[in-house]
Amino acid sequence: MTFDTEPTLPVPTDFTAAENRPGKIVALHLNYPSRIAQRGRSPQHPGYFIKAGTSIANTGSTVERPLGTELLAFEGEIALIVGETCRRVTPEEGWSKISGITAANDWGLYDLRHADKGSNVKNKSGDGYTPLGPAVIPAEGLDPTALRVRTWVNGNLVQDDTTEGLVFPFGQLVADLSALMTLEAGDIILTGTPAGSSVAVPGDVVEVEVDAPTAAGAPTTGRLVSKVVESEFPISPFGAQAKVDDNQRAEAWGSREAAGLAPLRSAITDELRAKVQETAVATLWAQMHKRGITNCSIDGVTNNHPGTRILGYAKTLRYVPNREDLFKKFGGGYNAQKRAMDSVQDGDVVVMEARGEKGTGTLGDVLALRAQLLGAVGVVTDGGVRDSAAVAELGLPVYSSSNHPAVLGRRHVPWEIDGTIACGGTTVQPGDIIVGDDDGVIVIPPALFEEVVNDAYEQERQDGWVFDQVKDGNAVDGLFPPNAEWKARYEEWKSNQ
């Protein structure tokens, strides 16, 4: 893409004026590949939410962060302006129903993202949370795949992307929405934000510009300017209150690193990995028990490669009981099972919830191979495995409840990936640490992993010393577990090593 250096100067539009204010604002969740990669979610279809008309503002406006909140995030976007009332148009016709485009900033308060069951009403519809402008670029003659959106924070460029590779082209969005609702002249469609969306704090100045750099005259909207200010008012006590966690912080800032958080996959260090290799799963379970967590084992599964171990991060997949109409809709094609295997990362253990159902397979050789090639270090399923001999030949450790020749449709519908599941009687969340040996498999929360492993390693070392004392003929009374005298002898032995 080559850019013209003499853009057409914009003429500002007052979007708060009655004649320009949209009847409705429909916003798209994910569209830019850069943002989708950042989020780690791959939408199959467009997903939307509605923003209030009172959230509209013009360039130069302020956006308030309620007192006591922390995660007010900007999203530079291209806004489509519907030019004529339309219903049930085709994707090929969709772009022709757009009269112009402008810049938008889809502000959101992640502190309230938990409210309203995903409708985004409270976190996205605050007054001033949808500034538009300053100018409208006429759509006629524009190539909708050759537009650009950029965002600056305090003069620093933080978002810079084009519409060349959008997952959901603009014509498709118009067609999809008009299939359900009448789109009226003046309605606004926000088309998603690229990577780089992040948190702004009071005092920050955020600018968004949309242009068509390869079009004649390189038309531009000019910069849409918003200044963040701290409100004197906290969130009212009449409804949902501010609530944030590290996951929301990571999503608001754009990454855990940007939010100042440790990477999720940093728990398994080389030192801890080496200690786990010398520590029995039974000893790790004992340390979990000491911390009051006894329901951490995945019960009823056995290893197809006795003598091998697994250590990795949980990648979750859930099956629901087969229902023929649901299997017809969700069981075939690029279903959740295939998406799970295609999205495996290096160091993952794929953990499957199959409700302990042994009457069908949940994994075969092709998908096991796919997971292995992407870096999976093991698979755990409380269901069955088909093609068991071929799976075993891969050398990938697989813990399962049985072998069975049948395919999914006999008992299961592949339903969900990357959710909290139940496997073998215990709860498993994405990113939990999975450890397995011939005794079985346990689940360790990442936040506890370091202390559990270190204490288990020390316990293992002490148990080995106790074993040697028994081997030398000493009685177990007072030795196992060691009393004060034997503990003193152990500490003396350890100091001499």
Q: What is the mean pLDDT of the chain?
A: 93
Question: Are the C-beta atoms of 70 and 108 separated by less than 8 Å?
Answer: no
- Per the annotation, binding residues are 364-367, 386-387
* Percent over 90 (pLDDT), the chain: 81
67, two tokens: 């007192």
- Per the annotation, binding residues for Mg(2+) are 387
- Nearest partner of 276 among 284, 285, 265, judged by Cα: 284
361, two tokens: 């397979």
CA 144 to chain centre: 29
Beta strand 440-444 with 297-298 is antiparallel
Terminus-to-terminus CA distance in the chain, angstroms? 67
Question: Are the C-beta atoms of 349 and 379 separated by less than 8 Å?
Answer: yes
Question: Are the C-beta atoms of 72 and 199 separated by less than 8 Å?
Answer: yes
What is the per-residue pLDDT for 7?
A: 52
Q: Do domains 25-253 and 295-444 have the same CATH topology?
A: no
Q: Is 472 helix (H, G, I), strand (E, B) or coil?
A: coil
Give yes or no for a cis peptide into 134 (omega within 30° of 0).
yes
Crossing angle of helices 446-471 and 281-290, rounded to 10°: 120
Confidence check: pLDDT of 461 > 60: yes
Say how far apart CA 81 and CA 455 lie, in whole Å: 62
Task: For residues 330-348, give the mean pLDDT.
Answer: 92
Confidence check: pLDDT of 484 > 70: yes
At the topology level, CATH places domain 295-444 in Glucose Oxidase; domain 1 (3.50.30)
Beta strand 310-321 with 433-437 is antiparallel
180, two tokens: 């359900």
What is the per-residue pLDDT for 37?
A: 83
Crossing angle of helices 270-277 and 446-471, rounded to 10°: 40
What's the residue count for the chain? 497
Task: For residues 250-269, give the mean pLDDT.
Answer: 87
pLDDT, tens only, 418-433 = 999 999 999 999 999 9
What is the per-residue pLDDT for 143?
A: 97
Confidence check: pLDDT of 486 > 90: no
Beta strands in 52-190 (DSSP E): 56-57, 61-67, 72-73, 76-82, 98-105, 108-109, 130-131, 137-138, 148-153, 156-162, 188-190
Say how far apart CA 244 and CA 222 lie, in whole Å: 34
Superfamily of domain 25-253, CATH level 4: Fumarylacetoacetase-like, C-terminal domain (3.90.850.10)
What is the per-residue pLDDT for 2?
A: 44
Say how far apart CA 121 and CA 108 lie, in whole Å: 10
Using 50, 70 and 90 to split pLDDT, how confident is the model at 3?
very low
Say how far apart CA 391 and CA 299 lie, in whole Å: 21
Question: Are the C-beta atoms of 107 and 130 separated by less than 8 Å?
Answer: yes
pTM of the model: 0.65
Task: For residues 304-330, give the mean pLDDT.
Answer: 95
Task: For residues 290-309, give the mean pLDDT.
Answer: 95
What is the per-residue pLDDT for 302?
A: 95
Say how far apart CA 395 and CA 371 lie, in whole Å: 12
What is the per-residue pLDDT for 8?
A: 53
- Nearest partner of 7 among 180, 214, 175, judged by Cα: 214
* φ/ψ bin of 385: left (φ > 0), alpha (ψ from -120 to 50), beta (otherwise): beta
Confidence check: pLDDT of 9 > 80: no
* 399 sits in which H/E element: strand 398-400
Say how far apart CA 460 and CA 465 lie, in whole Å: 9
- Per the annotation, binding residues for substrate are 364-367, 386
Confidence check: pLDDT of 373 > 50: yes
Beta strand 310-321 with 348-353 is parallel
The domains of the chain are located at 25-253, 295-444
Task: For residues 443-463, give the mean pLDDT.
Answer: 92
Cβ-based neighbours of 388, under 8 Å, separated by 6 or more: 304, 403
pLDDT, tens only, 48-61 = 999 999 999 999 99
CA 463 to chain centre: 41
347, two tokens: 């160091």
Give yes or no for a cis peptide into 43 (omega within 30° of 0).
no
